[in-house]
């Protein structure tokens, strides 16, 4: 690839990252402007656990217009455990999702698979800006396959890859809706049987690395905005740049829009944008719309 093409590619990617950041800043500013009067803080544990299931089934028998039988399911479970005190805040959260689909005579294939845990400890020095320390872990439940080959080829498994990130820095929280943090970060990518392309260094031709360690900077912005009585938008933008290549930014932008139809039924729209040059030179996008049953455990 020529130097001109490389520069063009980097320019396009940087513009995309800048656009995402600008959208988040604009949305954060708008929400902050719409904020209500500050209420007296309520200290202690805040607990929330919500689970849901979505099912889709289609069956045909002597249907002249054609079609194939299909069945799809998706399980979701999310929790938050926050211990807020006068001088400290310890926020823990988890996201678990797994879904599969079966069409016709094909075997069942997974459609969504995610395990993500995060713990953030903040010491309150001031009103809005405070130091923090955070730990994040991410992997999947089941094996992943490339169905473009015959036979299918396994390309991932639980904790293969697994991602971990530890960071320290400062966070900014103007209200209960918007929270953003920036700091120095350590990132580990762990693999076992599938180091390529997740952890292996392509520059070492005679060796395959199963772990990768990176030192860099992170930025994480969380927004939980109750747009109306029955509509909630949750968005999380995570950016990571290694100090070795600050012009290459990993992007993980996850958005969930939930519309409550009744106490136990809602519609979920999930849009996720992911970019990591070490895995793919192109951005990755995942979107899903689901209508299903949901239940609050706490």
Instruction: Give Cα 29 to chain centroid, integer Å.
Output: 22
Residue 290 has pLDDT above 60, yes or no: yes
Residue 239 has pLDDT above 90, yes or no: yes
Domain range enclosing 253: 3-296
d(CA 298, CA 220): 27
133 — pLDDT class (breaks 50, 70, 90): very high
248 — pLDDT class (breaks 50, 70, 90): confident
For residue 13, the model assigns a pLDDT of: 54
Task: Tell me the CATH number at 60.
Answer: 2.40.230
For residue 298, the model assigns a pLDDT of: 65
For residue 85, the model assigns a pLDDT of: 93
d(CA 197, CA 158): 16
Domain count, the chain: 1
For residue 296, the model assigns a pLDDT of: 76
Name the pTM for this structure: 0.81
**Mean pLDDT calculated for residue range 157-163:** 96
DSSP characters for 14-81?
HHHHHHHHHHHHHHHHHHHHT--PPPPP--EEEEEEEEEEEEEEE--SS-TT----EEEEEEEEEEEE
**How does pLDDT run across 33-86, given as a tens digit for each residue?**
555 455 666 789 999 898 888 888 888 888 888 888 999 998 989 999 999 999
**Mean pLDDT calculated for residue range 3-25:** 54
């Amino acid at each position: 690839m020529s130097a001109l093409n490389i520069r063009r590619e980097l320019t396009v990617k940087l513009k995309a990252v800048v656009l995402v950041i600008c959208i988040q800043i604009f949305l954060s500013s708008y929400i902050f402007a719409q904020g209500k009067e500050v209420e007296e803080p309520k200290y202690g544990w805040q607990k929330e656990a919500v689970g849901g299931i979505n099912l889709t089934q289609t069956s045909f028998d002597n249907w002249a217009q054609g079609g194939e039988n299909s069945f799809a399911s998706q399980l979701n479970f999310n929790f938050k455990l926050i211990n807020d005190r006068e001088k400290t805040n310890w926020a823990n959260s988890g996201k678990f999702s797994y879904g599969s689909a079966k069409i016709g005579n094909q075997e069942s294939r997974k459609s969504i698979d995610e395990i993500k845990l995060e713990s953030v400890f903040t010491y309150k020095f001031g009103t809005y800006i405070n130091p923090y320390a955070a730990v994040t872990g991410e992997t999947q439940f089941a094996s992943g396959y490339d169905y473009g080959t015959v036979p299918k080829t396994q390309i991932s498994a639980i904790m293969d890859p697994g991602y971990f990130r530890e960071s320290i820095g400062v966070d900014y929280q103007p209200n209960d809706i918007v929270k953003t943090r920036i700091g120095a970060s350590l990132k580990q990518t762990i693999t076992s049987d599938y180091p390529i392309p997740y952890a292996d260094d392509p520059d070492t031709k005679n060796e395959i690395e199963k772990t990768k360690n990176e030192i860099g900077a992170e930025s994480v912005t969380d927004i939980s905005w109750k747009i109306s009585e029955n509509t909630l938008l949750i968005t999380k933008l995570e950016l990571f740049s290694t100090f070795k290549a600050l012009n290459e930014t990993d992007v993980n932008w996850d958005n969930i829009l939930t519309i409550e139809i009744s106490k136990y039924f809602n519609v979920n729209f999930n849009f996720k944008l992911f970019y990591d040059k070490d895995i793919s030179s192109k951005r990755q996008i995942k979107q899903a719309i689901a209508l299903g049953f949901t239940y609050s455990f706490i």
